[in-house]
């Protein structure tokens, strides 16, 4: 027998005795409530997965629409082959930077200082 007293002042029955008699140590109402709670949780999980699916589809549609908009805008600004023109401009900038790096700016600067000094005197 358990030594704890329930709130009504009676000793609770021993769970082993209840099982021997064929009764469960908990009430059927608690079992039904647990089943209802489990069913409600499963329903919520299904609803959340559907909502996540809808959000995923909306995000994909938004990304596709944005990509289409960017592509159309590039065609308007750069003509029929916008990516080829953009690649050509990038290549030209790269080659120009390489050429400018190889120039002897020290000598150019020394030669230009005399020109600036003469221009300043006038």
Q: What is the pLDDT of residues 85-119, one digit of tens each?
A: 889 999 999 999 999 888 887 777 777 887 777 77
Task: State how far the Cα of 67 lies from the Cα of 87, in Å rounded to an integer.
Answer: 19
How far is Cα of residue 55 from the mean position of the Cα atoms in its chain? Answer: 12
Query: Which residues in the chain come in under a pLDDT of 50?
Result: 1-2
pTM: 0.41
Same domain? For 101 and 117 the reply is: yes
Do the domain assignments include residue 93? Answer: yes
Helix (H, G, I), strand (E, B) or coil at 9: coil
Separation between Cα atoms, residue 88 and residue 90, nearest integer Å: 5
Domain of 87? 78-121
Residue 111 lies in a domain: yes
State the total domains in the chain.
Answer: 2
């Amino acid at each position: 027998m358990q030594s704890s007293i329930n709130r009504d002042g009676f000793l609770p029955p021993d769970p082993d005795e209840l099982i021997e008699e064929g009764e469960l140590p908990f009430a059927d109402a608690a079992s039904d409530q647990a089943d209802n709670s489990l069913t409600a949780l499963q329903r919520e999980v299904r609803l959340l997965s559907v909502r996540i699916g809808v959000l995923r589809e909306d995000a994909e549609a938004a990304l596709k629409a944005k990509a289409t908009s960017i592509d159309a805008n590039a065609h308007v600004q750069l003509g029929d082959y916008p990516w080829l023109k953009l690649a050509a401009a990038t290549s030209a900038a790269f080659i120009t930077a390489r050429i400018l790096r190889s120039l002897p700016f020290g000598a150019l600067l020394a030669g230009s200082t005399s020109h600036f000094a003469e221009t300043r005197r006038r």
